Chain A
């Protein structure tokens, strides 16, 4: 019952986006979206961990006893998170410092556990890899959208490059926590409203 790759990709990037439709992995998507570069690094890190842990768990799914699978999943995820953490510390120490505890918190990101439970559990390794990777990319996409709004309005920059025009006063509130809540809330609202409209149309 392996799904087609295209179908998985479409589902994970758009129709069942983990952040906006399933409301998973919210903590980090709120916390790191004050700049684009933080969001990109975080998103790629998460995609890497989700993809590889899904693949590993899917490959091991017949040998892990059902009762201890949560523990096994956490351990596998933690191993990959440690890899990401060490990589960031070695090659991107600046970003690693600003992300702070949020890199370690990838372990408790519900997206990864969610994919492991909902998909990798019942599917062969390759589709699980694709599924994990693109659910990570869907998350990255949302992060980048939120970060774009916050960074342009808050700092007047995109990836640190100045896009500020004369007479534009930056909005400090955009860098503060409330803005993150408002922006993600509005995204979820827009998607929810669209889904509701679609459902109403098909019902007719």
Chain B
């Protein structure tokens, strides 16, 4: 497999292969926490942080533990446990050393364990057999891309909170339509970077 430059991966994962808009990952929290711009920012920040950390740790676990022991069939269980453990430890560390940040992001952390973007990015790095630098920038880029998407949706939803919509459309249905239009707009970038 030809090695793609890590920087191409970084920009591609924000723009052309955005986690939400082209890979559909992390939809649950994306839809449910996008009502308010401020909360969305908090969650975006937390996801970016956890995503970067867990992707890198899972990469190391995969290459230094799972492959040498030939237990690839257990990889899902191991990845999930690593993610849960990292989130737990991060929460405790934040509580101890950065209480301000913890007060702001703490409520989002448990939500993140079941955010499929985190797990999905890990699986992508394994399937595409990325190296360390590629993995690191893919993790950061995917997090930033997710953050960008949720912030855009939250901003649009806040603006249209007072608009009158057809019956049954407010809330989830309209979020889907907005996301669809956003995804279409982002298709305009396709061709600048390609990683898939």
Complex CA distance for A79 and B84, rounded to whole angstroms: 17
Complex CA distance for A98 and B96, rounded to whole angstroms: 44
Count residues of chain B with CB under 8 A from any CB of chain A. Answer: 40
* Interface-side segment among A150-158, A161-169, A177-185: A177-185
Q: Are B167 and A193 in contact (CB under 8 A)?
A: yes
How many A-B pairs have beta carbons closer than 8 Å: the answer is 123
Interface residue SS majority, chain B: helix
* Interface-side segment among A21-29, A36-44, A136-144: A21-29
Query: Which residues on the A side are within 8 Å of B171 (C-beta)?
Result: 192
Interface residue SS majority, chain A: helix
Contact size class for A?
A: 35 or more
From B26, B77, B124, B172, A79 is in contact (CB under 8 Å) with: B77
Q: Are B76 and A182 in contact (CB under 8 A)?
A: no
What residues make up the interface of B, taking CB atoms closer than 8 Å to A? 21-28, 31, 73-74, 76-77, 80, 84, 114-116, 119-120, 123-124, 127, 166-169, 171-177, 179-181, 183-184, 187
What residues make up the interface of A, taking CB atoms closer than 8 Å to B? 23-24, 26-28, 30-31, 71, 74-75, 78-79, 81-82, 85-86, 100-101, 104-105, 107-110, 113, 173, 176-182, 184-186, 188-197
Could you write out 5 A-B pairs with CB less than 8 Å apart?
A27-B28, A28-B24, A107-B80, A110-B28, A181-B176
Could you list 10 further interchain pairs (A-B, Cβ under 8 angstroms) beyond the known A27-B27, A28-B24, A178-B184?
Answer: A24-B28, A30-B24, A78-B80, A101-B123, A107-B119, A188-B172, A189-B174, A192-B169, A192-B173, A197-B167
